[in-house]
Structure 1
Amino acid sequence: MDFEWTPEEQAFRLRLKQFLAATLPDDWERFSQHGPGSPALTRYAETFCGKLADDKLLTPHWPKEIGGEGLDPWHQAILAEEMWIAGEPRGGQYMNVNWIGPTLIKYGSQWQQERYLPPIAEGRALWCQGFSEPGSGSDLASLRTRAVLEGDHYRVNGQKIWTSYAGLAQTCFLLCRTSDDRKRGISILLVPMDTPGITVRQIPSLIGEGDIHEVFFDDVLVPVEALFGNEGQAWEIIAYSLVNERLGIPRYGLARAALDRAVSVLKEEGRWNNDAVKIEAANVAALCEAARIASYAIVTKRAHGELVGPESSSARFATVMAERRVAEFVVEYLPEALADAHPYLKMHHQRGIVAGIAAGAAEIQLNIIATDVLKLPREPR
């Protein structure tokens, strides 16, 4: 097994590092604490992503005929790693290029692609995903937001919750129920967020600025052209898009960079002479490495054109464990970081503590691993 990067991949990573060094402002580490869904970082991300697009670094993994460079999944992984290690200056736009765009390319109508792909490729678009609902959480099959076809439009009523970026997004990737069948009754609508009848309320956060919201749909009229794919096709589409979403967020890279930063500070301050600290740092580093290798196994399958299934949940959970342990390590041995003594570590902590919720709760991932990977029975025999 060859674990070395090719010269082309090494050159691509170096190009990204040089771009980040030349583009990010001097106070970026402190500024990045605003959070990916904050107004300040969202405004900055539009400028930053525009520069990425100009350098053909925003969507290089997209097909050439769509405006990308046709690079393989390994280049996509490298791009995501370097962005997350830097603190994700793309803000909420990372979602666009990782899975909204590729899903549009695979399932969107010509009208939808022409309308939505150019703004994404130019770094001007911000989306939100209308998935979770009160009482439904990560169990998407139980969602109740309903879309009723009435002539040339759908009438949508319902509520979404924990919706990131909803307060600033232009478009919602909305899951809704078009029939009573548990899974085959779910469809997707691409809904402009300025449509009458949509109300967005921010959910207060104890940490950071908060970028999650409740979204209410009250008799919202959506044209039939907004139907994404076919009625009842949402389960297939989401299975495709979530693999891209989970693997497009290499939190293990940010976690490992934060751990290395914490260890460097401890050494500089003469606090690296305790065996317990060294052992815990080694354990946490091993978790970060395990998460990276688990994710690379999935990238390998994608690079070979193989289907990726529930094993992506294993990589996702490994990343959650790494994130949590790094956050706990900093709290235990460098608690002053949370008081802003070390902005990079504080930024990681703010993002790391939500890792077990974003992109599917960790408990749901464990259920998927148990039933679909390990094939364990749901009930004791």
Structure 2
Amino acid sequence: MDFNWTEEQAAFRAQIREVLARTLPENWEHIAHGPASKEQTVFAKKICADLAEAGLLVPHWPSEWGGRDADPWEAFILAEEMWMAGEPRGGQYMNVNWIGPILMLFGSELQKETHIMPMAKGQTLWCQGFSEPESGSDLASLRTRAVKNGDTYTINGQKIWTSYAGDADTCFLLARTSDGKNGISIFLVPMDTPGITVRDIPSIIGEGDIHEVFFDDVQVHEKWRLGEEGQAWEIIGQVLSLERVGIPRFSLASKTLKDAVSLLKKEGRFTGAAIDQAAKAHAACEAARWYSYFIIDKRAKKIQAGPEASVGRFSTVICERLVSEFVVEHVPEAISGVHPMLLAHHQRGIVAGVASGAAEIQLNIIATQFLELPREPR
């Protein structure tokens, strides 16, 4: 790996920063700490449209779908800068990182023509219907069922912890079409379909960020099934590889740590235990960053990441936790809203071990697939 950024990559990063500096409103820090609030969601659609017009929303997508065929490094630089700024794209980062690319790989012509260009223009918001009350990150145990009758499926079940569902246009839904691990299928379901009910789950991580979603005799035509029946497991393997390393949360954690340390230095409070704790958090942020770069380098070389994606994801969980703990202990006033961007990171850090697959699931994958440890003592 070449550890230096090219002139083109440095210029691209500078371009993103210039656009953000010009576009983010003066009260952005107050908007950013409500990651799925109505105000943030409205602003996300505006800035995503602006980014699309500037060629900065999906530069890594093929030109036929609104991109300019940029390599994975530009995609990651874009994601780093967005997260460092508090992720102004809101939930549309999912469209950019994995939903669009997955539809390009597995979608029918109708599905691609219907959904991809609105994503490329920043006009649409999606949610993902994965977790369920009794299955969580264990997708093989999900119970939401889709029963086919002619050319239509009837879907019944419940999803939980569904981010952005309250304002989403479409749900990337997993449902069981037969028994067993290979009996799961994917459906692209408009959220205004009769029979879908969305309920907010009160939380401390932001306004309207997570929801329960109920499906009661929801009718979905087979043309909105992604791929073949039972193909979900194959598709989700690629989804998770893109998702777990496509969200550089470490960049916001690193900036948060830097800002917190600057505040402490100005007040003469950066001493003793604070220095030691900051050093450990900084080391964790750098470890997460460099491991993510290792995986992006593989992606740039057309090598698909396997369980390494879970290692990268868990390293980011650790750095977010350490930075959150540092802020809570040494800058506790931030949690009351005195420093909105520190609060924004704290709110995201709370769910660091749950979003994109629970930390415990990542550890199981690392143990069995990466380290190849036996499941039982020998």
Question: Hey, what does 2:178 align to over in structure 1?
Answer: 179
Q: Distance in 1 between matches of 2:27 and 2:81?
A: 18
Q: Give the AA of the match of 1:259.
A: L
Q: Does 1:360 align with 2:333?
A: no
Give the match for residue 268 of structure 2: 270
Report the equivalent of 1:304: 301
Q: 2:235 & 2:160 partners in 1: Cα distance?
A: 21
2:317 pairs with one of 298, 317, 320: 320
In structure 1, give the amino acid aligned to 2:4.
E
Q: Show the counterpart of 2:91.
A: 92
Kept in 1: contact 2:173–2:186 (CA 8 A): yes
CA distance in 2, matches of 1:265, 1:287: 21
Amino acid at match of 1:359: S
Asked if 1:58 is matched to 2:57, the reply is: yes
Aligned with 1:292 (options 277, 289, 293): 289
Matched residue, 1:116: 115
What is the deviation of 1:368? 0.4
Name the aligned partner's letter for residue 325 of structure 1.
L
Q: CA deviation at 1:276?
A: 1.8
CA contact (8 A) 2:37 2:208 kept: yes
SS in structure 1 opposite 2:128? strand
CA distance in 1, matches of 2:259, 2:28: 16
Contact 2:196 2:218 in 1 (8 A): yes
CA shift digits 1:45-102 (9 cap, x unpaired): 0001000000010000101121101000100110000000000000011111110000
Quick check: 1:347 aligned with 2:318? no
SS at match of 1:162: coil
Paired with 1:227 and 1:32, the residues of 2 have a C-alpha distance of: 35
- Confirm whether residue 28 of structure 1 aligns to residue 25 of structure 2: no
**Structure 2 alignment gaps of length 5 or more:** none
Structure 1 distance, partners of 2:268, 2:103, is 52
Secondary structure of the residue that 2:181 maps to in structure 1?
coil
- 1:78 aligned onto 2:77: yes
Q: TM-score, normalised by structure 2?
A: 0.99
Q: Distance in 2 between matches of 1:11 and 1:214?
A: 42
Q: What CA deviation, in whole Å up to 9, does each residue of 1:261-292 have, x standing for no partner?
A: 001001111112x2221111111100000000
What is the letter of the counterpart of residue 375 of structure 1? E
SS at match of 1:287: helix
Relative to structure 2, which stretch is displaced further, 197-206 or 74-83?
Answer: 197-206
Structure 2 residue 191 is the aligned partner of structure 1 residue 189: no
- Tell me the percent identity: 63
**CA drift at 1:10:** 0.3
Task: State the secondary structure of the residue aligned to 1:355.
Answer: coil
Return the alpha-carbon distance in structure 1 between the equivalents of residues 206 and 146 of structure 2: 34
Which residue in 1 is equivalent to 2:11? 11
Deviation digits for residues 128-162 of structure 1, max 9, x if unmatched? Answer: 10101111000000111111110110011111111
**Residue 307 of structure 1, CA deviation:** 1.6
TM-score normalised over the length of structure 1: 0.98
The CA deviation string for residues 185-230 of structure 1, in whole angstroms up to 9 with x for no partner, is: 0000101111111111111113422411111111111001011011
Deviation at 1:241, TM superposition (A): 1.2
Mapped to 2, the partners of 1:207 and 1:54 lie a distance apart of 31
Letter in 2 for 1:111: L
Aligned mates of 1:271, 1:198 — CA distance in 2: 52
Q: Which amino acid in structure 2 is aligned with residue 61 of structure 1?
A: H
- The gaps in structure 1 that reach 5 residues or longer are none
Query: Any idea what SS the aligned residue of 1:206 has?
Result: coil
Aligned with 2:210 (options 206, 209, 212):
212
Other-structure match for 2:141: 142
Match for 1:370: what amino acid?
A
Q: Higher mean Cα deviation, 339-348 or 184-193?
A: 339-348
2:359 is aligned with 1:371: no
SS state at 2:161 partner: strand
**In the alignment, what sits opposite 2:253?**
255
In structure 2, the residue matched to 1:43 is 42
Q: Secondary structure at the match of 1:88?
A: coil
Query: Deviations for 1:91-130, whole angstroms, at most 9, x for unmatched residues?
Result: 0111111100000111100000000011101111100101
Length, aligned pairs only: 378
1:339, distance to aligned residue in structure 2 (A): 1.4
Give the whole-Å Cα distance in 1 for the aligned partners of 2:85 and 2:325.
21
